Structure 1
Amino acid sequence: MNTRVREVKGRELKDENQEMSGSSMLIQALARENVDTIFGYPGGAILPTYDEIYRTGIRHILSRHEQGAIHAAEGYARVSGKPGVCVVTSGPGATNVVTGIADAMIDSLPLVVVTGQVATSVIGTDAFQEADILGITMPITKHNFQARTVEDLPRIIREAFHIATTGRPGPVVIDLPKDVSIASGMFHYDDEPNLPGYQPTYTPNKLQIRKLAEAVTKAKRPVILSGAGILHAGASPELLEFVEQQQIPVASTLLGLGGFPGTHELALGMAGMHGTYAANMALHEADLLINIGARFDDRVTGNLEHFAPQATVAHIDVDPAEIGKIIETHIPVVGDAKEALRLLNEVNPQPGESVRWRMKVDEWQQEFPLWYKEGSEYIKPQKLTELVYEKTNGEAIITTDVGQHQMWAAQYYKFDHPNAWVTSGGLGTMGFGFPAAIGAQFAEPDRQVVAILGDAGFQMTMQELSILQELNLPVKVLLVNNASLGMVRQWQQLFYEERYSNSLFPIQPDFVKMAEAYDIKGYKITDENEVAGVLEEAFNYNGPVVIDCRVHEEENVYPMIAPGQGHHQMEGVKP
């Protein structure tokens, strides 16, 4: 019998096949799933579990709001590839993590979220701090459980981790009533999950692989759309091998950045609404589009009537529900991206006659690069991002909120390595970037983590500065401060005749004083000539830093595909 005893901060965990409480079972199970960090916030219904956390000494990071805990767990999962674990209490504790759960679901991040619940005897009576978290989270989880007996708890936890981390990753909720966490039962955790209705397909159909190989050979204008599925599958080496073998240019989705080296000669940059001209025109003109691990989000496709109108579409995805959902797919390949690319590389199809195509793509890159006007009295956010890239040698983990600063980071920081880009994609969650940086720092304690944030999003979760102070985490917070809801303001300027309804911030806190109130080093920069020196000093400082960079509130993100337009109808591609 494998008892798998583990040490957690010097305290020995118990053997299996012992009688123990439900809370003890939970902590023992987390250890056996190699969980080293929990993010959370205690409360009445979950106190038995927190007492067990105290007894065992497993590392717990106390957020200052449950929103911070769930986003930190997301950042941890995104960088480490391991499931992020979040533990909160019932009622408001559980409802405060709903946005993060939805965010993880749409962006395919593996989370196990344990929510306290009132005792089973009063469920459904509107007891104090009761909320129907199963009903609330059913549409936004990969699966959810409620443990009604202590005997079921080990199986539920095992299944939760299995579901969260296999196939297309996603969040799983375990609702733990207080009486179940107190009750005692025999703990056994060796059984493999038995889920006949859940059997993800990892190995693609070889006939479909051959069809795709034949299409590659016939293609004259092929392009790859690289999505987050490349990162989740750990398929970056196989993608690089395939691309260099076939000499096919690569456009990336927002969440796919880093799956293919951003400085590679065949990298076209990000595709979509604020993507590069070369990436979008390659999608528009392609005769073969190979989508690997992307879900054809509307911000990528633009107007569907104009999307890849000449292309045979191949789609490799571990989630069969995504294939054909948005775009008609001619060559569907259901399976793990790493395995599919491995099989393609084994087939080693003869590259098509696409020399002219690559020359055309190179012309687009040379003639229509990303651009911005220099010489302003304000700090240029594009230049700011380039300097962050330069000062970190392109080696940092970058997290962002959502909005203009997110797009500038995606455009101007060249991600050469996987799992170094942490952002909220599908849900577009403000307040995500800062706590996600905290989770990322725990996942990679020796890496430089930079949170590039908007001033608005930072104000949603800046109470988590307490964690930076308490643990001296060397996260660098870089505020792209335009005193507004930047992307909202841009849309109001372009599409609402400059009616800036509730998008401007005439009064802001002093962010430097805010940092100093937490005993954190703070800087305010208003002159572009100061940026390089302050960044140099901040990155050489072994501790947390907040840098308030003032940029012009009317600086816009370009290029841009306006709503209803296609990839060939980009605006702002030249000064």
Structure 2
Amino acid sequence: MQLTGAEIVVECLKEQGVDTVFGYPGGAILNVYDELYKHSNEIRHILTSHEQGASHAADGYARATGKVGVCFATSGPGATNLVTGIATAYMDSIPLVAITCNVGVSLLGKDSFQEIDIAGITMPITKHNYIVKDINQLADTIRKSFIIAKKGRPGPVLIDIPKDVTAAKTEYTPQPAVQVMPSSDIDERDLETALAMIRRSERPFICVGGGAILSDAAEEFYRFAKKVDAPVTDTLMGHGAFPETDELYTGMVGMHGTKASDYGVDECDLLIVAGARFSDRVTGNVNEFAKNAEILQFDIDAAEMNKNVLITEGVIGDLKVILEKLNSRLEQQDHTQWKERINSYKEKYPLVYPAEGLSGPWVVEEIYRQTEGDAIVVTEVGQHQMWAAQFYQFTEPRTFLTSGGLGTMGYGLGASIGAKMGRPDKTVVNIAGDGCLRMNMNEIATAARNNIPIIEVVINNHVLGMVRQWQDLFYEQRYSQTVLNDAVDFVKLAEAMGAVGYRAQTREEFQKAFAEALTLGRPVLIDCQIDKDEKVWPMVAPGAAIRDAFDEADMKKKAD
């Protein structure tokens, strides 16, 4: 049958099982939006307040569901406004398809009105991208893009379509979506080497990252950790891959990890890294990282082997497949004495916060109590992000959504909208800082307009908290441009945009506000007023070894 390019776009999305698209229309993409209007009973479109919100929403939808997120934007500034969201997805390996439309083919390269080379701009931050100048290639390009986004190490793909291609016609033949399956091809020699290393280890320590979530390997990883009988830490992206209520769990590793985890990495004789890429926020000084250990890495991407840290051995492949194979061959190990040593660190160096008053950690723990640990927690970037990672106990994958690699302030509100659209059965809470909220507060209107009942908890210290913390510790308290003590009223702002607003200055006020928010079925913002000098502890200084993690008690001892 003969279809226009715009009709082909919509039909291909339906082939791929897409039920939700996030975007913002404009002149170049009008043909696609006109066709989408005719299929509004099959594909729901969420009109965001800004294109960046659309890309973050598509990202949040993908993280929460495991499906490919989809966003639309028009040419020029519409397309460039997607860039930060695409880069965020790229850094965290999130499957995303961004569809933009451009000026007509004959106008390309002529600095036409709202023309931009979005394919060139996004080349470094996509797995692949296309500009489709021939309508006969459009359907196959869209189908390939979904495969690329999901296959191997996931990531974003951009498709740019000139407007005249969306208007042209060609023959279209429907096709079923290709099911992307992980490869079972794992090098047997690498598996045997890994088994030998595990068997001879006396002090194994396991670090799990976001790859375990992307490969749906949580069950296999749990069995593996129990068989190895080793303490387990996670990276920021690995939260939820292993139940954090389990006795083997030691807390997050790295710059703001627990001392138990950082000491465990430093003292182990074998560090097993599953689906993590040795970010600098994990390793600290790479020359001192796990210096007493052999390092065994499992990763789907060969490029991650020896990129940041020199490893001893590695196994390349889908983590779920690797763990299945290892679990079938590995005998039950016993490391009781080693576990007792790490447990002594857990008891000696617990995470602490002020016993009285409203504080970031207390707010996170109260959210955990009231949601009974059964919520999707989204964050922005900063102190509140670290407190969420430290004090909410995640027990399931795809329940902690955060910008780990790029560290994108403004990510969380859009992502929480996407997560709620993908998982309407879940309570979705976005934990934000007041600085981050200023970057994406317009998406409150998106949630209100579409009646998407997310809960926005603002940890409001009237400063850029994490930057101020660095200024306090490393810049002799020169608080250059980090004070936000102005007249902005977030409660009135939320109400003006159609949401419900609360202000909490005490623990009791937050308890009441959050309990009400859980029952309203409307978007809610809770403005939590905390002290501007509250800090995230422990901390590793830039360039230091993670063994040198310090906290407030250490600083007081040093001062004395």
User: Structure 2: how far apart are the matches of 1:259 and 1:508?
Assistant: 41
Q: Residue 431 of structure 1: CA displacement?
A: 0.4
Q: Does 1:551 align with 2:530?
A: yes
Show CA shifts across 1:352-402 (max 9, x none): x522211100000011010112234xx111111110100000001000000
Q: Does 1:370 align with 2:364?
A: no
Q: How does 1:105-504 map to 2 (within 5 A)?
A: 105-190=90-175, 202-351=184-333, 354-376=335-357, 379-504=358-483
Residues 167 and 202 of structure 1 are in contact (CA less than 8 Å); yes or no, is this contact kept in structure 2? no
User: Structure 2: how far apart are the matches of 1:325 and 1:506?
Assistant: 42
Residues 445 and 499 of structure 2 are in contact (CA less than 8 Å); yes or no, is this contact kept in structure 1? no
1:15 maps to none
Residues 483 and 508 of structure 1 are in contact (CA less than 8 Å); yes or no, is this contact kept in structure 2? no
Segments of structure 2 that go 5 or more residues without pairing to the other structure are: 555-560
With over 3 angstroms needed to count, the CA separation of the structure-2 counterparts of 1:215 and 1:508, relative to structure 1, is: farther
User: Structure 2: how far apart are the matches of 1:172 and 1:319?
Assistant: 17
SS, match of residue 514 in structure 1: helix
Q: Residue 518 of structure 1: CA displacement?
A: 2.2
User: Structure 1: how far apart are the matches of 2:256 and 2:500?
Assistant: 34
Residues 182 and 318 of structure 2 are in contact (CA less than 8 Å); yes or no, is this contact kept in structure 1? no
SS, match of residue 452 in structure 2: coil
Q: Residue 422 of structure 1: CA displacement?
A: 0.5
1:37 maps to 20
SS, match of residue 38 in structure 2: helix
SS, match of residue 167 in structure 1: coil
Residues 201 and 334 of structure 1 are in contact (CA less than 8 Å); yes or no, is this contact kept in structure 2? no
Aligned residue identity for 2:54: A
Q: Residue 517 of structure 1: CA displacement?
A: 1.1
Show CA shifts across 1:301-338 (max 9, x none): 00011100011111111111111111112221010010
2:557 maps to none
1:92 maps to 77
Matched positions, count: 552
1:54 maps to 37
Residues 371 and 574 of structure 1 are in contact (CA less than 8 Å); yes or no, is this contact kept in structure 2? no
User: Structure 1: how far apart are the matches of 2:544 and 2:448?
Assistant: 47
User: Structure 2: how far apart are the matches of 1:146 and 1:561?
Assistant: 45
* TM-score calculated relative to the size of structure 2: 0.96
Q: Does 1:562 align with 2:541?
A: yes
Q: Residue 350 of structure 1: CA displacement?
A: 4.6
Aligned residue identity for 1:363: S
Aligned residue identity for 1:205: D
2:558 maps to none
Please, which moves more after superposition, 462-471 or 491-500? 462-471
Q: Does 1:514 align with 2:493?
A: yes
With over 3 angstroms needed to count, the CA separation of the structure-2 counterparts of 1:574 and 1:357, relative to structure 1, is: farther
With over 3 angstroms needed to count, the CA separation of the structure-2 counterparts of 1:191 and 1:418, relative to structure 1, is: closer
SS, match of residue 305 in structure 1: coil
> Which residue among 47, 50, 58 is the counterpart of 1:65?
50
2:11 maps to 28
Q: Residue 202 of structure 1: CA displacement?
A: 4.7
Residues 284 and 546 of structure 2 are in contact (CA less than 8 Å); yes or no, is this contact kept in structure 1? yes
Q: Residue 539 of structure 1: CA displacement?
A: 1.5
Residues 277 and 573 of structure 1 are in contact (CA less than 8 Å); yes or no, is this contact kept in structure 2? no
Show CA shifts across 1:95-131 (max 9, x none): 0010111110010000000011111101000000000
Residues 96 and 149 of structure 2 are in contact (CA less than 8 Å); yes or no, is this contact kept in structure 1? yes
User: Structure 1: how far apart are the matches of 2:157 and 2:19?
Assistant: 18
Residues 484 and 505 of structure 1 are in contact (CA less than 8 Å); yes or no, is this contact kept in structure 2? yes
Residues 449 and 498 of structure 2 are in contact (CA less than 8 Å); yes or no, is this contact kept in structure 1? no
With over 3 angstroms needed to count, the CA separation of the structure-2 counterparts of 1:112 and 1:202, relative to structure 1, is: farther
Q: Residue 201 of structure 1: CA displacement?
A: 5.2
Please, which moves more after superposition, 565-574 or 362-371? 565-574
Q: Residue 246 of structure 1: CA displacement?
A: 2.1
> Which residue among 60, 65, 70 is the counterpart of 1:75?
60
SS, match of residue 148 in structure 1: coil
2:512 maps to 533
Q: Residue 456 of structure 1: CA displacement?
A: 1.1
Aligned residue identity for 2:167: I
SS, match of residue 523 in structure 1: strand
Aligned residue identity for 1:432: Y
SS, match of residue 315 in structure 1: strand
SS, match of residue 236 in structure 2: coil
Residues 83 and 111 of structure 1 are in contact (CA less than 8 Å); yes or no, is this contact kept in structure 2? yes
Residues 201 and 318 of structure 1 are in contact (CA less than 8 Å); yes or no, is this contact kept in structure 2? no
Residues 319 and 334 of structure 1 are in contact (CA less than 8 Å); yes or no, is this contact kept in structure 2? yes
Show CA shifts across 1:262-320 (max 9, x none): 11100111111000111111111111111111010000000011100011111111111
SS, match of residue 238 in structure 2: coil
Residues 374 and 380 of structure 1 are in contact (CA less than 8 Å); yes or no, is this contact kept in structure 2? no
Runs of 4+ in 1 over 6 A off after TM superposition: none
* TM-score calculated relative to the size of structure 1: 0.94
Aligned residue identity for 2:87: A
User: Structure 2: how far apart are the matches of 1:222 and 1:407?
Assistant: 26
Q: Residue 465 of structure 1: CA displacement?
A: 1.3
